[in-house]
Amino acid sequence: MRIRTTTATAVLLLAALTACGSGDDGDDAAAKPNKSSAAKESSAEPTPGTVEKGMKFGTPAQTTGDGGTGVLEITPDTVVFTKEGGGETAVNGTFVVVTMKDKAMTAVAADEPAPISGGGWKWMAADGEMVDVDNGNAFNIVIDKYNNADPVQPGAYQWRLKAFDLTPAQAKGGTLIYIDGEEKAHRWEMPSIDTGSNVAEVKKQLEF
């Protein structure tokens, strides 16, 4: 009789210890971070100052206008590489002339931020070197059709042009960067040859 009582007591004690162990495991699981939740938090909306993933040349980007006003859809349309253009010769060896279509997407006028504000266009070479727009002799590259700089009115679009005076190495395999009114950097991976829907027109205009 005493043997049976001892055995029963041992069984009850073992069950109690097992229950306690299960409770501890539950606490540990609750204390561990939820990987799924962390992933969701990391994929939240980008904040001002972020950098968009590089896009293919010709892909439109929704950008915030100067001062955070309005939305501009910007589409790099054509790129032309030339040593001479508009009566000018590239100081560094190669002019890279890029045209783009800026379209207002909201009920208010929108514009590109001025370079003096830290926004606007830049070129990043393959080795990471940054080059400002209109450097060298590039500021002399002007084509009437693309010489627009006024705010884009609702429902309208403008053709614009940006030029860079680059070394041949900088011009090859570069990245076009546009920093909008919220300091978000939009990037396009650039081809190394003339590309786009208006190459012939741009080259003809550059001959004068």
Question: What whole-number distance in Å separates Cα of residue 58 and Cα of residue 188?
Answer: 8
**pLDDT confidence tier of residue 86, bands split at 50, 70 and 90:** confident
**Element at 30 (helix H, strand E):** helix 2-31
pLDDT in tens, 131-145: 999 999 999 999 999
**pLDDT confidence tier of residue 43, bands split at 50, 70 and 90:** very low
pLDDT in tens, 141-168: 999 999 999 999 999 999 999 999 999 9
Q: Is residue 2 scored above 50 in pLDDT?
A: no
Question: What whole-number distance in Å separates Cα of residue 82 and Cα of residue 192?
Answer: 11
Q: Is residue 22 scored above 80 in pLDDT?
A: no
pLDDT of residue 125: 97
Q: Is residue 23 scored above 60 in pLDDT?
A: no
pLDDT in tens, 96-120: 999 999 999 999 999 999 888 889 9
Site of tokens 């001062």: 67
